[in-house]
Amino acid sequence: MSIEVEAQITGNVWKIETQVGADVEEDGVLVIIESMRREIPVEAPEDGKVLEIRVAEGQAIEEGDILVVLES
């Protein structure tokens, strides 16, 4: 089953903290978003493997955009 991890806020992708194929643990940081001069970590909702990263560092994103797809 795949899980789409969405942005919860509009901003810019400051840093990608994972890569395709990586095993991630629940609450592990996947992406850091910069918004309103704050760095906001986006965490894995559960353990899984990274199938896709749909954003790039520096990319502008909107709330609801899919950032990462995990396989649980």
pLDDT per residue as tens digits for the range 11-50: 999 999 999 999 999 999 999 999 999 999 999 999 999 9
Look at residue 17 in the predicted model and tell me its pLDDT: 98
pLDDT tens-place string over residues 53-71:
999 999 999 999 999 999 9
Would you state the pLDDT for residue 21? 98
Give CA–CA dist 54/61, Å, rounded: 11
Three-state SS at 29? strand
